Each structure stands twice: as C-alpha cells, then as structure tokens.
Amino acid sequence: MSVEIEPKRGEVAFKWFNNYAGLTIRTPSKIIVIDPADIHPREFTSVDILLITHEHYDHLDQAVVREIYKQTKCKVYADPTSTRRLRSVIDPEKLEEVNVGEEVEVEGIKIRTEKCNHPPAATPVTFLITTEDGIKIYHTADSLPFPEMEQIGQGYKPDLVFCTVGIAPGCSPDTGVEIAKLIKPKVAVPYHTASKRDLERFCEVLSRELPEVKCLLIEKGKAYKYP
C-alpha cells in the first residue's frame, strides 16, 4: 500500500495497512514493506525492501509476497522459517535469511534483526530499521516484552517503536506499554489489533505511566510522517 506523503531529508512516512503488523515505511529514497498479509498485492506497486518477521498467516502470505515480488523485484529478507517457505517463489539472489543479531545494509538503509518473544512462532524476529538520515524505527512484530528490549533502547535509542496491543497470545495494551517502558522511544505507536479501544487504552496508560514518551494513535490506511 503506497504512502502518499513524500518524506524530505530527515523525515520518514508510514502507513499501517491491516489489523496486524503490516506496515509500509517510506524514506526519502526507499519503500519498505513489512509483513504484507490480509491485503491485495496490487496495493503495492513500488517496493524496494520486503521484510517478513515470522511464518504465521497474518504475517506471511506466500501468494501475496510472490505477487509483490513479481511486480517490483524487491529484495526480501525473512526469518529462517519464512525463508524456507519462500524459496519456491522468490529468486535466490533476491531472498536472504536473517537471524537475530545480524545486520544488513541496502543503499544506506540499515536493518538489524532482533529477538522476538512470540512463543507460538518457530523462528520469529523483530526489525530495527535505521533510515539513510539516521531515524530509527523498531518494528516489534507481535512480540511480548522481553528483557533485552531495554538494551535495544539504550544502545540504539529508537525514535519510533510499534507496540503490539492485541490479537497475539498474551498481548494487550498493558504489555504494549511495557515494551515502551523498556525501550523508551521518542514516540510509541500501538498496533496489531482490530479494536480501537485497545489503541486508546494503550495511549491512556502510556501517558499516565511514561509521560515523557509521546503516543501516536494511528488509523489503519492513513499515512503519517515523523517527525
């Protein structure tokens, strides 16, 4: 799904496109799509980098990924389990398996793979993306909080963090707030829910318990810009 806002230098734009962790991120030079599922591939006419966090149906749809790749010839980075499932639909030179602790760079965009606390998945990961201008975005997939998030926050100081607040096992607005507390980003964004109340509850608790972190309440299908 395209992001209509064209970010200038020092900016990034993004759009949440499903009820899960589906996100399009637009930097001044690149378009990054994460976990395209529950959406038609024709929504993605221009993609440079495609990231997959794990193999669950709401994060990996092989047919959608195949069609996006056919349309755009984008580079695809995926966790080990998803990589195995995509080998039959993505050309080998365009598909790369990523593991926790690894970092890749694509023309100034750095993508670091981090741990994910989502026990039902086989090899889930989260992604820390640094744009060509140094803006850091942490996409937590549908992770529950985990202690190492504190080190991620201290070491990388993310500007934006996307916090799961529903649907995934054990996740709630309160666990999403715990993610924000561990990472302490400039802006925390609730996602991964079909409930507007979950999103609002996250912002209410965050503003009360961590007032120095701004909450950005987003709507599905609407484009936003940072800063």
Helix axes 196-209, 173-183, angle to 10 degrees: 40
Average pLDDT, the chain: 97
**pLDDT higher than 90, residue 1:** no
Classify domain 12-219 at the CATH topology level: Metallo-beta-lactamase; Chain A (3.60.15)
- Model pLDDT, residue 59: 98
CA 129 to chain centre: 9
**pLDDT higher than 80, residue 102:** yes
The CA distances from residue 224 to 9, 11, 130, 159, 200, in Å, are 15, 11, 17, 14, 17
Over the range 109-125, which residues count as b (16 or more CB within 10 Å of their CB) and which as e? bebbbbbbbbeebebbb
- Model pLDDT, residue 194: 96
- Model pLDDT, residue 42: 93
Best CA proximity match to 35, nearest among 4, 3, 57, 5: 57
- Model pLDDT, residue 2: 82
Backbone angles phi, psi at 55, to 5 degrees: -90, 0
36 in Cβ contact with 15 (< 8 Å): no
**pLDDT higher than 90, residue 116:** yes
CA 223 to chain centre: 15
Structure-token pair, residue 203: 């912002």
3-state class of 42 per DSSP? helix
pTM (two decimals)? 0.97
**pLDDT, tens only, 62-101:** 999 999 999 999 999 999 999 999 999 999 999 999 999 9
State mean pLDDT over 174-200: 98
How many C-beta atoms surround the C-beta of residue 155 within 10 A?
A: 10
Structure-token pair, residue 114: 């981090």
State mean pLDDT over 121-134: 98
Residue carrying the six token digits 């349309």: 71
Structure-token pair, residue 184: 């302490």
State mean pLDDT over 182-211: 98
State mean pLDDT over 144-153: 98
**pLDDT, tens only, 190-199:** 999 999 999 9
What is the rounded CA–CA span in Å between residue 99 and residue 23? Answer: 20
In which band, very low, low, confident or very high, does the pLDDT at 162 lie, cut at 50, 70 and 90?
very high
